[in-house]
Amino acid sequence: MGLFNTFDVSGSAMTAQSVRMNLVASNLANVNSAASSVEGTYKSRQAVFKTVMDEFSSDPSVAKVKVDRIIESEEPLKAQYQPYHPNANEDGYVFMPNVNPIEAMANMMDASRSYQTNVDVLNTTKQLLMRTINLGKS
């Protein structure tokens, strides 16, 4: 794998982790949003990644990552009896999202670390290329 391919691989990983971070932010932003029906309640969403091989190369080290799809959690929603809540249904229940804030924070830290690792890979690759260019100047 050439050094220039590293930019593509790390760039694709950073894009995928950005999508993941946006989904985590959306999940955390909606953790306390109540609705009067199951259908109207926010459901936790997660990104599913997929490995994409380079169509012009048979080298497996040039595989990139992309977001294959975004799925909604199948975990049950939380029904709470709050008859005076403005979003309560006729039985006095409001439905809360199935977002687990602790799990979401752990997911956010993992996505952040993965993103930072790819930034470090890009910076190291850039330094290697600059040193290679400077070899001819000495």
Question: DSSP labels for 57-122?
Answer: ---GGG-EEEEEEEEE--SPPEEEE-TTSTT--TTSEEEE----HHHHHHHHHHHHHHHHHHHHHH
pTM for the model stands at 0.85
Domain that residue 82 falls in: 3-135
Total domain count for the chain?
1
Looking at the predicted structure, is the pLDDT value of residue 116 above 90?
Answer: yes
pLDDT band (50, 70, 90) for residue 138: low
What mean pLDDT value characterizes the chain? 91
